[in-house]
Amino acid sequence: MLKKHVAPLLAAMSLLFSTAACSDQSIIDTNGDLAKYQEAEDSVVNEFLHAEKPTFTTKTVATFNEPWAMTALPREGDESLKLLVTQKTGELFVVDAATGNKTAITGVPKVAYGGQGGLGDVILAPDFATSNNIYLSYVEAGTGPDSRKFGAKVIKAKLSGLDVGQPSLQAIRPIWQQTPKMKGQGHYSHRLLFSPDGRYLYISSGERQEKTPAQDMSVNLGKIIRLKPDGTVPADNPFMDKNNDVSAQFWTIGHRNVLGMAFDDKGKLWAHEMGPRGGDEFNLIEKGKNYGWPLVSNGCNYTGTDIPDHDTRPDFAAPKITWTPVVSPSSMSIYKSGKHNDFPAWQGDVLISGLSSKALIVVNLDDNDSDNDSASERYRYDMGKRIRSVLAVDGEVWLLEDGDEARLLHLFPK
């Protein structure tokens, strides 16, 4: 019950800082604002939630250079957990979470590494138990005159040789790619997620730091894509148009840089995306909706010029949470107990990894009113390092730091 009292207070604080963030561009101080925000938030959280806020210690399991994503392989009986971990530079590893031993997987396609680009997300096919298929996203360069242009690509591949300790990717098949390829090496997004029933593959496609593609129905940038597992387009997608094969892929439009997606236990899809200078968003993703970028945002342009807030355009879907100063959300995972129940207070909560905020952020979903789903930041943990990825598996939680010599951390409740 306490968290329900805290949510309005944190929402009011967020509004206060969001309003102030663009009102006087001459006094913007992101670091100063962040310190003030965190101080105020910590005060509220400590007053109301101190008694119930879980605490934890961390254990370093392994280290990586520029890791980007991780997922868990199915576990049988008492065998140790195995994780698949990607590195932006193009490496894919099987990691024994108990010992930290890493085994490189061969056969990964060549990636265009640079900026925010390289090897991206990795997820298991819904039928992995029988097919051993996985899905990977990565950035590739164009050819010929487009050799200095880049775009994200998604492939399906069979993960072979796990049982003999010589894992490799076989039978690689392309599923989807960003079109057109663009100059620059930012905002690919390329996050992957299957629907709970395994029938649909969702792909986040960033607007490549070009803004206008997010509202352009002729390109698949700045969108969330929905496909069948084989890459074909479902007939019930909301933008089906016999004269526009590209828009038929779209589930939602008007996105900037979606780096986290997850389904809750009621089958609702949530996503977060990075705002510009302020205005990071946490959104409920609903079929056919337009989320407004770049026409609206609760942040400002990097030049300091204002962008109309979401409340000026009720025709666009508004975020359930906005963060100013930004938290730079980089991934998300929903906590569910299983064989373990290390953090029962987090049951059903969304765990978000933060880059600039160097934090693990816990968000509560309050959907008692089905017509007005809401969310609020519940806890924030200062991790002291940029956090690239978070993964909740069977009641345990794992974090990946960002950058060189980044640690894979296992969280243990105190």
| Residue 294 Cα distances to 132, 210, 276, angstroms | 40, 9, 10
CA distance 299 to 291: 14
Instruction: Give the residue numbers annotated as catalytic, written as ranges.
Output: 187
What contacts 58, CB < 8 A, 6 or more positions away? 399, 409, 410, 411, 412
Using CA of residue 285, residue 290, residue 291, residue 293, what is the dihedral sign? positive
- Amino acid identity of residue 73, one-letter, is L
- Amino acid identity of residue 131, one-letter, is S
Token digits for 363?
Answer: 């968000």
Segments of 142-273 assigned E as strands: 150-160, 168-177, 189-194, 201-205, 223-227, 250-253, 258-263, 269-273
Residue 300 per-residue DSSP state: B
Q: Is residue 294 reached through a cis peptide bond, with omega within 30 degrees of 0 on the bond before it?
A: yes
Token digits for 60?
Answer: 């370093």
| Residue 120 Cα distances to 68, 109, 189, 360, 389, angstroms | 6, 12, 9, 20, 11
Instruction: Yes or no: say if 41 and 49 are a contact pair by the CB < 8 Å rule.
Output: no
What contacts 319, CB < 8 A, 6 or more positions away? 281, 282, 283, 291, 298, 310
Using CA of residue 63, residue 69, residue 74, residue 77, what is the dihedral sign? positive
